[in-house]
Amino acid sequence: MNDYYLTDVWRKAIAWLIDHGVIMNDSMVQTVSDYSYILSLNENTIVISCQIFLAELIINEHREKFEEALASVVHHPVTIKVIKGDDMNRNTNKKIDNIEVFYHTQCDKNYNFENFIVGRSNIQAQVSALTVANNPGLAYNPLFIYGNSGLGKTHLLNAIGNKVRELFPHFKIGFISGLDFVEGVASSIKNHTINDFKKQFQDLDILLVDDIQFIAGKEKTHEIFFSIFNGLVNAKKQICLTCDRLPKDIEGLEERIISRFNQGLNVNIEAPEYETSINILKKKLTLSTIQSIDDDVLSYIATNFSQDVRQLEGALNRLLFYAIDFASTNHITLDIAMEAFQGQVTDSNDDIDINIIKKAVCNYYGVTKQQLNSKIRTKNIAIPRQIAMYLCRKYLDLPYKDIGYNFGKRDHSTVINACDRVEEMIRKEPLYQKAIQEIEKGLK
Ligand code: ADP
Ligand code: MG
């Protein structure tokens, strides 16, 4: 079965979906046709590889319709498997019946040890991550990195993967988020492919799981994870996990798993102290066109925005955007910084509240506040809800817990996840970046 045939099947299926009103607007069509493709067609199973999260969302949301569409093209019933992919596999010879490592994905190359700034707050985590990357399976197993959101856990996990790839090119590396693991278990149970799901982890040399807290409270997921975990550790394969808290503090996590997590090394990342914040800002500045920045500006940002590194970066990006695109200067003074942060630091709490944010998002997406607060999880509601949560965090500086409460009593990890997802969408998809900018205009 050649690539042309697979591309053709996909094209026809998309045409069917448009015809049947399943994918309705241009951006959906574009997302699916540009960012997903058929990786293999093997008897009744079609594996679809998605390069971006949104494509996965759309396909999973309309899974049955996609299956119907494909069946109508290939003239027999099919089951689809949606996997994360990257462009690397496209246009190369596809292995038709041997798709074992679904999550054998590239780590994010932008996150490495070279651009991770080390300070008192994170040195333990950085040193142990580097040790593990240099001696996978031989140092601490598992390495468990924990800390609040935005402090560099995902960065370090990717850095481990990238370093291992560099030092041990033949190693099979698995990278998966806790949430994707949970979803993977759920969908493979539904599709009766749980053995395939497990198999993909069996011969990994190193498994990296980001945000493991998401497996809490899910019995079947525990069982599967436990057996994968033991299999790998017994074979002296490295496991690295990140989490927003210590194993013992993860509610709803089985004792036997907690005790496994404790058998390696637990290291904490803390909020960056002043010096580290300044160094992170300086490092990020070297990547911009800004030629000079006054020390008091750096000091201002480090003092006001150093709750976590993500916030620090956000403040710097806002300043760079203002200086370059607005003030057209490449020398940043404190006056310029004050103008840039006006309305962000001081006024925001006064003018904007949760209702204003909800209203702006509802107006933009044509949904109702009740829908935002509801339990409905279809993507046309879930995405606006996630964006609204992200904006609450950005503008109101409310604790995750409080934001969750205001969106139908959801728990804090849902909000953390929403903020992460939206940030990822903003980074990867200009369409979302634009949408959010438009919504933000509506807030002012
Ligand atoms: P977490 O996973 O803990 O929520 P991330 O790893 O996503 O946090 O980090 C948030 C942002 O901050 C990322 O862009 C990351 O590159 C950056 N960052 C965090 N810590 C550092 C650091 N020590 N040096 C440079 N950048 C950092
Ligand atoms: Mg993270």
Q: What is the pLDDT of residue 343?
A: 60
Domain 94-268 has CATH 3.40.50.300: yes
Could you please state the CATH topology (level 3) that the domain comprising 274-340 is classified under: Helicase, Ruva Protein; domain 3 (1.10.8)
Q: Which atom of ligand 1 is nearest to the CA of 244?
A: 3
Task: Dig out the tokens for 236 from the structure.
Answer: 């002296």
Q: Which of 327, 319, 325 is nearest to 293 (CA)?
A: 319
Listed residue (35, 58, 36, 61) closest to 47, CA to CA = 36
CA atoms in the 13 A half-sphere facing the CB of 213: 22
State the closest ligand 1 atom to the C-alpha of 210, by its place in the atom list counted from 1. 2
CB 372 within 8 A of CB 384: yes
Contacts of 365 (CB under 8 A, 6+ apart): 380, 383, 384
Record the tokens describing residue 97, joined without a space. 């019946």
Q: For residue 17, which of 52, 42, 48 has the smallest C-alpha distance?
A: 48
User: DSSP class of residue 117?
Assistant: -
DSSP string, 152-194: SHHHHHHHHHHHHHHH-TT--EEEEEHHHHHHHHHHHHHTT-H
Q: Which ligand is nearest to the CA of 313?
A: 1
Residue partners of 194: CB distance under 8 A and separation at least 6: 185, 188, 224
First to last CA, the chain: 55
Considering only CA atoms, which of 212, 200, 257, 266 is closest in space to residue 230? 257
Residue 142: asked if its preceding bond is cis (omega within 30°), the reply is yes
Topology classification of domain 3-84? GMP Synthetase; Chain A, domain 3 (3.30.300)
210 Cα–ligand 2 center, Å? 7
Distance from residue 150's CA to the centre of ligand 2 (Å): 7
* Residue 378: other Cβ atoms inside 10 A: 11
pLDDT at 290: 82
Q: Which of 307, 233, 260, 236 is nearest to 144 (CA)?
A: 260
Whether the CB of 310 sits within 6 Å of ligand 1? yes
The predicted pLDDT at position 87 comes to: 57
pLDDT of residue 105: 53
> Ligand 1 atom 14: the closest Cα is on which residue?
310
Confidence (pLDDT) at 344: 61
Yes or no: say if 220 and 182 are a contact pair by the CB < 8 Å rule.
Answer: no
pLDDT at residue number 104 = 42
Biggest alpha carbon–alpha carbon distance for the chain: 68
Residue 114 pLDDT: 95
Nearest to 173 by CA among 131, 213, 212, 201: 201
Closest CA to 81 of 69, 104, 101, 63: 63
| Ligand minimally distant from the alpha carbon of residue 111 | 1
Contact (Cβ atoms closer than 8 angstroms) between residue 264 and residue 116: no
Q: 313 in ligand 1 pocket by Cβ < 6 Å? A: yes
Quick one: angle between helices 379-396 and 53-61, nearest 10? 140
pLDDT the model gives residue 3? 64
Q: pTM higher than 0.85, yes or no?
A: no
Residue written as tokens 């959801």? 410
Q: What pLDDT was estimated at residue 102?
A: 39
pLDDT tens series, the chain, 444 aa: 556 678 778 888 887 887 777 877 778 888 888 888 898 888 789 999 998 888 999 999 999 999 999 988 787 889 999 998 765 455 433 322 222 233 445 678 889 999 999 999 999 999 999 999 999 999 999 999 999 989 999 999 999 999 998 999 888 888 988 988 888 898 888 888 888 889 889 889 999 999 999 999 888 999 999 999 999 999 999 999 999 999 999 989 999 999 999 999 999 999 999 999 999 999 999 888 888 899 999 999 998 888 899 989 989 988 998 888 888 888 999 999 998 888 665 444 567 889 899 999 998 888 899 889 998 888 889 999 999 999 999 888 788 888 998 999 898 888 988 998 998 888 888 888 888 988 988 887
392 Cβ inside 6 Å of ligand 1 = no
Q: Which residue's CA lies nearest to atom 26 of ligand 1?
A: 116
Domain boundaries, the chain: 3-84, 94-268, 274-340, 354-443
Q: Over the stretch 317-372, which tens digit does the pLDDT of each residue have?
A: 889 988 888 888 889 999 999 988 886 654 445 678 898 999 999 988 888 998 89
Ligand 1: nearest atom to the Cα of 119: 23
Superfamily of domain 354-443: DnaA protein, C-terminal DNA-binding domain (1.10.1750.10)
pLDDT on residue 346:
44
Q: Is 212 in the pocket of ligand 1 (CB under 6 A)?
A: no
What does the pLDDT read at residue 345? 54
- Provide the H-helix boundaries in 241-378: 255-261, 274-285, 295-304, 309-321, 334-341, 348-351, 354-365, 369-373
- Pair of tokens at residue 128: 């142990």
Q: How far is 174 from 199, CA to CA, in rounded Å?
A: 12
From the CA of 159, which ligand is nearest?
1
- The radius of gyration computed from the CA coordinates of the chain, to the nearest angstrom, equals 23
pLDDT value at residue 301? 94
Cα-flanking dihedrals φ and ψ of residue 140, to 5°? Answer: -110, 135
Q: What pLDDT is stored for residue 350 in this prediction?
A: 62
| pLDDT, position 86 | 64
Give the chain's count of helices (H) and strands (E). Answer: 21, 10
Q: How far is the CA of 115 from the centre of ligand 1 (A)?
A: 10
Residue 398: what residue type? L
- 265-268 and 143-146 beta bridge pairing: parallel
